[in-house]
């Protein structure tokens, strides 16, 4: 599980959301006409002892080969989420 439980996960999700919101205008300005395009990123975060999330890096080309059964399960959940999001936008994978 996530250190700090559900609260830790919520704090990490907030950091990812903030990074995406701040980056979106620059990305759209640099790549006009790409609204609705899908890009897979991996955010590496850590929680400190106080439960504060720290963004370590953002990987633009994440490795999707699982190194453990737990990581394989997580990647399957991510793939299902991506497919659901694409369907909701009227696309397919």
Q: What is the pLDDT of residues 6-44, one digit of tens each?
A: 788 888 889 988 988 888 888 778 877 776 666 778 889
Mean pLDDT of the chain: 82
Residue ranges of E strands in 48-87? 53-59
Angle subtended at Cα 47 by Cα 45 and Cα 48, rounded to the nearest 5 degrees: 135
* Distance in angstroms (rounded) separating the CA atoms of residues 35 and 75: 25
Question: Given this model, what pLDDT does residue 4 score?
Answer: 59
Angle subtended at Cα 70 by Cα 64 and Cα 73, rounded to the nearest 5 degrees: 65
pLDDT band, very low/low/confident/very high, at 91 (cuts 50, 70, 90): low
- Which are the contacts of 58, defined by CB distance < 8 A and separation ≥ 6? 19, 41, 42, 43, 44
Question: Given this model, what pLDDT does residue 68 score?
Answer: 92
Residue 70 scores a pLDDT above 60: yes
Residue ranges of E strands in the chain? 42-47, 53-59
Q: Which residues pair with 53 in a beta bridge?
A: 47
């Amino acid at each position: 599980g996530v250190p700090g439980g559900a609260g830790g996960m919520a704090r990490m999700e907030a950091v990812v959301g903030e990074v995406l919101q701040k980056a979106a205008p620059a990305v759209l300005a640099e790549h006009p006409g790409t609204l609705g395009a899908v890009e897979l990123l991996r955010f590496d975060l850590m929680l400190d002892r106080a439960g504060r999330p720290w963004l370590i890096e953002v990987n633009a080309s994440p490795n999707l080969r699982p190194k453990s059964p737990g990581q394989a399960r997580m990647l399957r959940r991510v793939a299902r989420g991506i497919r659901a999001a694409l369907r909701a936008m009227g696309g397919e994978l």
